[in-house]
Every structure is written in structure tokens, then in C-alpha cells.
Amino acid sequence: MPEIYSAGDIGYKYSRYIDGRARQTYINMLNMVMRIRVTIRGEPRLYDSTELGRTKATLRWLKQGDSGGAEARFLDGDWLIYGWHHRLGGRGWETDVYLCRQDYDSLGVPNG
């Protein structure tokens, strides 16, 4: 790791090193995160950004099953709210809610 005091031992400034490391970590994590934007009727409870990234929303995304009951689809479940945008749309006040969750749509299968 480069010296914090910029002694120039390896010829790379600490500020550039730490910025590059954080950016690479972020880019490496993008493959593990699913993101979606959902448009809903105007939502007045979304006004305070201090809870972003830890407030969860539950999507109920169902389809009719073969036996007549409802079955969950791929997007069904809990998501984290990481942003929103209020706007006046064609049907009145609308809110775009930006959601994300870790991509965990895989199962571990014992081998042997």
C-alpha cells in the first residue's frame, strides 16, 4: 500500500490509490446486485433521504399457477430502496422508486 505521507517510494499518490481501489471494489460488486425502477402513484412517505439503503420495500409480483393459485415470480420479495424521483406524469403525481437487492437466484447443490 502506498505511503499516506506521499513519500514517493513507489511513485503513486495515496489519493489516487485509494480512489482506484474503492472504484474497483464498487465495479466488482455490480454483478452481484439487481436493480429495478418501479413507477407508483405519488408516495408522500418518500421525503427523507436519511433512510436510503436500509429501508426495504416488498414487491408482490405474482402469476396464476397451474392449480389456480398464485405463484411468486422472480421479482417477488424484499428490495432495498436506494432512491426515488417524484414527478407530475400523465396520470397525475407519480413516484419512480429505485430498488436493489443482491442477486441470489442460485442454489447450492451438494456434489457427491
* Number of Cα atoms under 13 Å in the Cβ half of residue 79: 22
Q: Is the pLDDT of residue 89 over 80?
A: no
* Cβ–Cβ under 8 Å, residues 81 and 55: yes
Q: Is the pTM of this model over 0.85?
A: no
pLDDT digits over 7-44, tens only? 555 666 666 666 666 667 766 777 778 888 998 888 88
Q: Is the pLDDT of residue 112 over 80?
A: no
